[in-house]
Structure 1
């Protein structure tokens, strides 16, 4: 892992102190970082780097202005009919919001309250907004996106399906693992065709691709910007594919104390978290 701020200071340059500040600077910060990497020698880069196993990765963004989530945005997930809404394809995105207190990073524990009996995972590609967006077209959306990360939309199915709306079942603390990093959008030229996979204790559960989305990332930004002003550092979770625990056959498989959930999205990396049950 490169400590790029101290390296920048060696060249008399300044970068934002936090990743939030980096996102808000947008393309200027990306170009500045790229310029530093061009100037630095291999020896200098090595001197300012740390082995990844010697650091603890925090959530890339701990206090985003909004975490906006899409439901039922994959055709294969709609076929599972987890929510009992039927298999009709939405004509517009179905959205809900999670609080930032749900956020944890790679390697941190998902807390399962003992009264939650049907804890489930949802692997999702997440958009990180880099610019203010209001009433933008799908074509304009690309320039408003800073990058992408992974979000696990942890859900208490027994609570979600009991309520009329989904907020309570998806808003417990630690119910939004995010990470392991943010990959800038110029490094992912085609976010509409990335593989997305989930393993629980080494068993492959979800194996799909973002091409199965009903609304792609640019269409999502377009639709959401017609409803609300999107801001830098907003996180948008784009929905999950088939293979959630609730829909597995011949019977559901819910997350239990000690389970390890690992999500991998092409071009981004791996997000892994352990489930820990706590009595409340």
Structure 2
């Protein structure tokens, strides 16, 4: 059975099939809304195919595939490479936070830099997992049974705001700072969920290149820990941390005209562009 790889278009959800996007007869606005029904990808698999169009014709105008999620969880310092580079000790417990849902942005979006509030906007390439079944106090060995899909995330952070406030949710919730997509790949299409490649390029130059095999808290452990304290519902998103190579590591932050691309194995590339606020150069 071929795993589904869904994108959100202005005409509805579509399955990526090679160089084509196959529009499906579904009432859902995005993948989070689909998964909220509690039936996983089954409704999409059973849906009638309405029409097939070249992926290139819709790829530049995709919507956020998880805009209707009810929660986006993130974690700080979860790659060994990041801990080693910064000299910080490996945490004994995950450093968790929630991002404001208003920060979600679509693939290919152009994000306005909040230069009046931050001069240190940074990218973070991350693998994100999407919950498919309700989770409460789920043991690590049962976590994969509750995960529906994987996607790419650009977990943008205003580093100076993080330092000034000590509050990740504020530093990561500016408009557009929660880029997700471009597609959402059914977990069945991932050869090894514990070893997923993730890469970030800035203006075509690779700066992050790693795999979730390097996580300090592996995915089953991380998501199990969250489920001990908070119920995770179908469509919820869990980010897994970023490897070394961020702008913070290089002391080079994002500026107007920059383009970041996040590549997660099996998922369409997630691209984000940046522009100055009106009246600023």
Q: TM-score range by the shorter chain?
A: 0.7 to 0.9
Alignment partner of 1:73 is 2:67: no
Q: 2:102 matched to 1:101?
A: yes
Contact 1:113/1:279, CA 8 A, preserved across alignment: no
1:224-278 residue CA offsets vs partner (Å, 9 max, x unmatched): 0001111111111110000001111xxx111000100011011223100101121
The aligned counterpart of 2:175 is 173
Paired residue for 2:56?
53
- Give me the whole-angstrom Cα distance separating, in 2, the residues matched to 1:20 and 1:30: 11
CA pair 52-225 structure 1, distance change in 2 beyond 3 A: same
Determine if contact 2:181/2:270 at 8 Å carries over to the other structure.
Answer: yes
Rounded Cα–Cα distance in structure 2 between residues aligned with 1:140 and 1:32: 23
SS in structure 1 opposite 2:220? Answer: helix
Q: Does the C-alpha gap of structure 1 residues 58 and 269 become closer, same or farther in structure 2, counting only changes over 3 Å?
A: same
Alpha-carbon separation, structure 2, partners of 1:31 and 1:77: 38
Q: Is the 8 A contact 2:202 2:258 kept in 1?
A: yes
The structure with more radius of gyration: 1
Superposition deviation, residue 32 in structure 1: 4.8
| Alignment partners' CA distance in 1, 2:231 and 2:174 | 25
How far, CA to CA, are the matches of 2:96 and 2:123 in structure 1?
18
Q: 1:92–1:197: structure 2 CA closer, same or farther, 3 Å change rule?
A: same
Structure 2, unmatched stretches of 5+, are 1-20
| Root mean square deviation, CA, Å | 1.8
Aligned match of 1:127: 129
Q: Cα distance 1:233–1:49, how it changes in 2: closer, same or farther (>3 A)?
A: same
The range that moved more, 117-126 or 107-116, is 107-116
**SS of corresponding position for 1:208:** strand
> Matches of 1:278 and 1:185 in 2, distance apart?
38
Corresponding residue of 2:274: 275
- Aligned partner of 1:2 in structure 2 is 22
Query: Cα gap change, 1:181/1:206 in structure 2, threshold over 3 Å: closer, same or farther?
Result: same
In structure 2, what is the equivalent of residue 258 of structure 1? 257
CA–CA separation in structure 2 for the residues paired with 1:101 and 1:21? 16
2:179 and 2:122 map into 1 onto residues whose CA distance is: 13
The Cα offsets for residues 46-74 of structure 1, whole Å up to 9 and x where unpaired, read as x7111122221111111311111000000
Q: After the TM superposition, which residues 135-214 of structure 1 pair with which residues of structure 2 at under 5 Å, given as runs?
A: 135-214=137-216
1:51–1:237 CA distance, 2 compared to 1 (3 A): same
| Alpha-carbon distance in 1 for matches of 2:64, 2:33 | 15
Structure 1 unaligned spans of 5+: 6-14, 38-44
More strand by share: 2
**TM-score of the two chains, using structure 1 as the length reference:** 0.86
* Residue from 6, 12, 22 that aligns with 2:34: 22
Task: Quote the Cα distance in structure 1 between the aligned partners of 2:105 and 2:184.
Answer: 14
